[in-house]
Structure formats: structure tokens, C-alpha cells
A and B are shown apart, each in its own frame.
Chain A
Amino acid sequence: MSGASTGSTATTKATVSDSKDTTKPLQPQKAAQLEEDDEFEDFPVEDWAKEEEVGAQQGGTTTTTHLWEESWDDDDTTDDFSVQLKEELKKMEGQKK
């Protein structure tokens, strides 16, 4: 890291990044717009009836049961992965003997 040549490269680099800077300002603006998309909107009305609530429209207490599922497939051992896994385990069993 010595000599005049290194110094001059550094300067060129600096100029290059400077010229890039003029195009950059567009990006923060874009990000700001995305943030705006994220904002919670005002509701068209201030209040509403019980039957207009999402919870009521989707069947009250049953909501949670059909909108959310367990993260596993019950005791299903016939899915592709389980079938493959059983074969793999059988193979291992075979190798042992």
C-alpha cells in the first residue's frame, strides 16, 4: 500500500462513487414509499356492528379452528417423506446385519 499509483487509484475510485451518488437519492425515496404501503389505513367508518366484524363473519369461535392448523400432519406416516424415511431406515437395518 504505497506509491503514487495507489493514491491515484483511490482518487479515481472516489470520483466514481461520487458520480454514482447522483443516481442514488432515488432509492431512499422508494423505500419511503414502501413504508407508506405498510401503514395502517383509516377505516371508512368509525364504528360497526358486531355482525360486520371479521370474527363474527367467519363464524365466531370456530374461526380459530379452520384458520389455524397444527404444524404437523397428525399421525400420517404415508406421506412421501415418511415412506422414503422408512425405506432408508430399512436399508440401514439391512446394512447392520
Chain B
Amino acid sequence: MDSIFRDFAAAHNPATITDGRSPGYVLASTISPEPPEDEPARFYNFLQATDPSSILTDLKYKLQYNPHVQLEKKEAAAWMEVFTVFYKFVSFLVTAEEAQNSGRAKEADWSSVYDSWKDVSNALYKGYQSTVFAAWTIPCIYVAGKYLRVFAIKADENIASQRDSGLAFGGIQEEDAFNPDSKNEKLEDAARQINRIFGLCISDRNPIDESRKWALYYTANLLFKTYFRLNSIALSKNIMRSLRASAHDMPALYQFPKAHRVTFHYYTGVIYFLEEDYATAEENLTAAYELCLSPNVGGGATRKNLELILTYLIPTKLLTSHKLPSAALLSQYPRLASLFQPITTSIRTANLSAFTAAMEAGEEEFVKRRIYLTLERGRDIILRNLFRKVYLAGGFESVKDKDGNEEMARRTRIPVKEFAAALVMAGAEVGDGNGEGGVDGDEVECLIANAIYKNLMKGYIARERGIVVLSKAGAFPGTGV
């Protein structure tokens, strides 16, 4: 108990902080559900130092009559409330963790942990709502929101496992188990709580220097994370809309800490990606990538974040600029290499059957990450690359320019048959179904017409003569020929 209030006092007397942390973070550490590294037994000590009958008196001495902490009366009262519910929370947490650690995971009562943490969060909320807590304390909001999510997820998992094993609620839960609404009961509640916190921050009318608006991106990120997990990604749009609507009276994004910015760019990038707004997705994902902490400094968690960013940036780049990740990029991320290398190679070598095989092999993973359909459009690029190879293989012929002078130019009249031959070689399914290696000419023309329609190739099909007439200038836009 002493250490908690020693830190609490330090936060209110910044000059006494010796480890370089900002006062807000020191303060937030006093209500963090994770004990500090140098004091793993903090919560046991807290529970032992007092008991439910004397907690109020003890807290009074720590908060109201403490010579090291000069708080306004209202502020002291607000903290009294926070630490009273925090004490209850700690006893639930310690009990649940004990059950968890002694192999009785199913008995761990994470629901009560969640509910009591919600009380802590609400007590803080009230403190902010009545403008008793100043803006420098907002790391407390981060802690409140972060662990609402964490404990809600644990509680839902716990409820689900009890239900599965029939431990709880008897037989009547049979129907409920099939009700998808009840699966994430606590997490849905957490989303509502965090949304309230978001509202609390966005409605702050204090001058920017003393505003809770500095907590907005952190809170928005928590909501994105929660909505993604709940599979209600569309709700994220409301948050993005609110942020845009108050953009004029909040600090610019670049003024926020990079951890908040990178996460925000990642989630908005993915949201735009899922909406197939690839240009905006690329902007955000590129920003997230460039701005991200280097894994040389940040370690494993940071490397994983970069992998996630690239998981969406790679299909996006493929679509927006027909670019592929280089070997240099993939070699840094073995997991991404195994995910994307087969696709990348098949596109570069214009090998349709290898592409189909790679899509099939990776299907489950691609679908799970919601990138399957975007990657599938890589097929168009293979066809473009394939037709381009036919064009290049045609070589040069001598033509007369408009003044009648002879010059060498690439052959632009190419028989449909040559495209058909290339398609067959690349493993395209253009057979005529007779099983004798014949080719369905209509199918071939269809693929060519599609490529022309999608502006991957410029020209037209002269059907009666069975040739494709390609544009003399830039037949394959953006590829140098």
C-alpha cells in the first residue's frame, strides 16, 4: 500500500520523479492492474496492509491527510472513490490469478474482475466528467480503457469455456450457446464503456494544452481493436467520422505520440482496404510503415506490428501500382515470405498455374486476413505480364513513319493464336473441352478484351482477321513498352 501512495505522491510532486517518466504515467501506474517490475507482490502487500473494514480510514490518511500530497478537497474525494473500488478490484484480481496459476483456470472469476475494473473506470470517468482530474492525468484513461478490453476478453473466454464444459448454468444454456450475441457479452460492454470515454475526451472544451483530446487517438485505437475483434468493423467508421468532424478544434495528428499515430494509421488503412478504397489505404499503411518504430529498437512486438502493416500494404501496392515486395523486404519477415513469396514469384514469371496453386495453398490464411479477393486480382497482372511477353517476343519490324522514312518498331499486329499459345504455356484454363489440347478462341479473346477494358493493354481485336492490333505508343501502360 505504501509503495502505491509513494508513487501517487511522486506523481503530484514531479520534482521527486527520478526515473524520467512523466507524472501522468507515474500516476497511471498506481492504478495499473500490472504490478511494477520491481515489486511483483504489490497487490498482495496492498491486500495485507488493510482490510475491507479499514480501507476507507487508511485511504483517508493516504489521500486527505498526507503531507506529501496536497489535493483539493474534491480531488481527494474523487481519488478516494477510485482507490476504494480499486481495492475491491485488486482482491478479485488476486483471487482470479491464483485460480488461474494453480491450474483451476475455469474457476477464475474474470467476470467479477471485469465488473470491478469497470467500477474503477467509472470512478475515473466521474472524476474527469466533474473536471476534478486535470489533463496531465490522462494516462489513467489509457490504463482504464486498455484493461477494460483485456478483462472483458478474459471474462468472455471464461464464460465460453464454462458453458462448453457444462460447468455453469446447467442445461438451459444449450440454446444460448448458439446465440452469437451472447458470445462477447463483456467485450461488447467494454466497447460501450470505451466509447463513453471517447465521448468524454472529444467533448472536452478546455484549451488544447489542458485538454483530454490528447487521449483521443489512443482511445480511438482501442475502439478499432475492439470492433475488429467483435467483427463490427463498420462501427469504426463512426469514430473516424467523429474525429474528422472535430478536426478543426483538436491538435493535428502529427503532434500526437508516434505509438498512437502508427496504430491509428494501421487501423484506418485496413478499414479503407476493406472498403476497397486502395489509394487511401495505401496512404495510411505507408505512413504506418515508415513511421513505425524500428524492430531493432522495439523488438518482437514491433516486428509483429510491421508484419501486420505489410500484410495489407503488399496486396494494396499490388493493386494500386502493380508493385511486388522485393526479396529484400520479404527476407526480413519470414512469416510474410511464406505467405506472399509463392504469389509474388508466380506474378513475376507470369505463371498462371503456379498462381492458382499458391492461392489455393494460402486460401485459409488469406481469407482469415481478408486479403483473398484483393490478391485474386493479381491474376489480371499475370495476364498483362503474359501478353507483354508475347508482345516482346514478337520483336521488331521495319515500318515507315509519316514522312516515309523506314525505321524499326515493335510489331503491333499480333495473331490471337500467339496469345493463345502463351496462355496455354502459362497454364490458363482456355481449353475447348475436347481434351485434345485444342484452345477455345472465344475464351482467349475474352481475356484479351478484359485486359484492354482494364487499361492494362492498349489496342483492339480485329476479329475477322484474328489479330490483335496494339497501340504503337505505350501498348502496356506503365511498363515501359
Which residues of chain A have a CB within 8 Å of any CB of chain B? 25, 28-29, 32, 34-36, 38-48, 52-55, 57, 63, 66-75, 77, 79, 81-82, 84-86, 88-89, 92
Contact = CB atoms under 8 A, between A and B. Distances in A.
Given A85-B389, A85-B422, 5 more contacts: A28-B160, A42-B259, A43-B302, A53-B291, A68-B325
Interface stretch (B46-54, B86-94, B109-117, B293-301): B293-301
15 contacts: A35-B229, A41-B304, A46-B257, A47-B258, A54-B306, A57-B294, A66-B326, A70-B322, A71-B347, A71-B385, A72-B348, A77-B389, A82-B392, A85-B390, A89-B418
B323 A40 contact: no
Contact of B388 (A40, A66, A72): A72
Contacts of A82: 389, 392-393
B349 interface: yes
Given A70-B322, A71-B385, A85-B425, A40 B392 contact: no
A69 B324 contact: yes
B223 to A, nearest CB: 13
Contacts of A52: 293-294, 297
B261 to A, nearest CB: 9
A55 B295 CA distance: 12
Contact of A55 (B257, B290, B305, B317): B290
Contact of B225 (A28, A29, A40, A57): A40
Contacts of B399: none
Nearest to B229: A35
Given A32-B157, A81-B425, A92-B417, A55 B291 contact: yes
Given A41-B301, A54-B306, A67 B326 contact: yes
Interface in B79-138: none
A48 B298 CA distance: 10
B325 A40 contact: no
Nearest to B157: A32
B325 A67 contact: yes
A79 B308 CA distance: 34
The 7 closest A-B pairs by CB, nearest first: A55-B290, A25-B164, A41-B301, A43-B259, A47-B257, A67-B329, A68-B323
Contact of A40 (B160, B305, B426): B305
B292 A53 contact: yes
A72 B425 contact: no
B242 interface: no
A29 B259 contact: no
B267 A39 contact: no
B294 A54 contact: yes
Interface of B: 146, 153, 157, 160-161, 164, 221, 225, 228-229, 257-260, 262-263, 266-267, 289-299, 301-302, 304-306, 308, 317-318, 321-326, 328-329, 347-351, 368-369, 381, 385, 388-390, 392-393, 417-418, 421-422, 425-426, 479-481
Given A73-B348, A88-B425, A46 B259 contact: yes
Contacts of A28: 160
Contacts of B306: 54
A36 B225 CA distance: 10
Contacts of A39: 225, 228-229
Contacts of B368: 34
A44 B350 contact: no
Contact of A53 (B229, B290, B422): B290
B329 A47 contact: no
B324 A68 contact: yes
Chain A CB within 10 Å — which of B161, B291, B296 has the most?
B291
Contacts of A35: 229
Nearest to A51: B294
Contacts of A40: 221, 225, 263, 266-267, 305, 308
Given A43-B305, A89-B418, A81 B349 contact: yes
Contacts of A29: 157, 160-161
A18 to B, nearest CB: 11
